[in-house]
Amino acid sequence: MNPKIVLITGASRGIGAQTALLAAQQGWHVAVNYSSNSLAADAVVRQIRDAGGTAISIQADVGNEQQVKKMFEHIDAKLGRVDGLVNNAGIVDYPQRLDQFSSERLERMMRINVLGSFLCAKEAVLRMSTRHGAQGGSIVNVGSAASRLGSPHQYIDYAASKGAIDVMTLGLAKEVAGEGIRVNAVRPGVIDTEIHASGGLPHRARDLAPQMPMGRVGTAQEVAHAIVWLLGPLSSYCSGTFVDIAGAR
Ligand code: NAP
């Protein structure tokens, strides 16, 4: 059996990094994508290799079509054609009301969170679909509970970008179901990662914990377990499925 190859976008930190480590433990050869933090990406790759796994790191802005194409070509050459894609890279922004949003903010949010996932899914389908002579594959999108909640007073734009990911998951799952490709999504609630600091709220996870139904927020590892399950053969009849990992929120 040839090893399975997966690209995990935004795998240098947080949920993506934990997913890369877990996927490698389960035998996947992993392409660790990152945007700017090469040290963090290299540390993930080193951890995988030290444990006997196979991984490469690869810089690309998922919201840039040329960079996405080059990233997939690099993976073709170094690891082989992808069997799996985890569309994980994503951003938030500072808390604002909708009537304060600038068009630059909106464009950045949609470019990275929505366009980025579409561009990577396109390149993956071209390499996975039986229609294109390949053997099939599995795509896992990382959405958010925000698409159910709307994120008022913080980032409706982020919530809307994740709503687009929900719809893409449903549509693409149906579009390629007969071509050997499964498409699923996880929708995390509040997870303890650095994303909150990048949105100007470094203590968001800690501050919100008491309001959560379970009295705590989630860990990146708890999300990674669901992603890797959806990626692999144990979820073989799941497609167009959403796994909410939000502790009953
Ligand atoms: P994080 O800790 O902030 O990590 C973000 C990752 O994405 C980093 O690896 C970063 O790379 C990468 N990235 C950012 N912009 C990118 C771009 N344009 N191109 C390629 N990579 C890029 O985030 P996280 O909390 O793990 O979130 C991961 C996903 O889960 C996101 O889609 C997020 O919306 C979703 N999510 C998170 C939560 C939560 O509470 N944490 C809840 C629901 C959903 P660098 O290291 O190079 O910057």
Domain residues of the chain, as ranges?
5-245
Cα–Cα dist 129/132, whole Å = 5
The alpha carbons of the chain give a radius of gyration, in whole angstroms, of 17
For residues 211-231, average pLDDT: 98
Confidence of residue 1 (pLDDT cuts 50, 70, 90): low
- Is 158 a known active-site residue? yes
pTM above 0.95, yes or no: yes
Confidence of residue 2 (pLDDT cuts 50, 70, 90): confident
Which tokens hold the place of 145?
A: 């509970």
Closest CA to 107 of 95, 123, 91, 96: 91
Cα–Cα dist 17/218, whole Å = 15
The CA 90 to ligand 1 mean position distance, Å, reads: 4
Say which CATH topology domain 5-245 has.
Answer: Rossmann fold (3.40.50)
Per residue in 74-106, pLDDT (tens digit) is 999 999 999 999 999 999 999 999 999 999 999
Q: Which of 34, 94, 158, 237 is catalytic?
A: 158
Cα–Cα dist 232/78, whole Å = 22
**Residue to probe by mutation, ligand 1, list 32, 34, 72, most atoms within 8 Å of CB:** 34
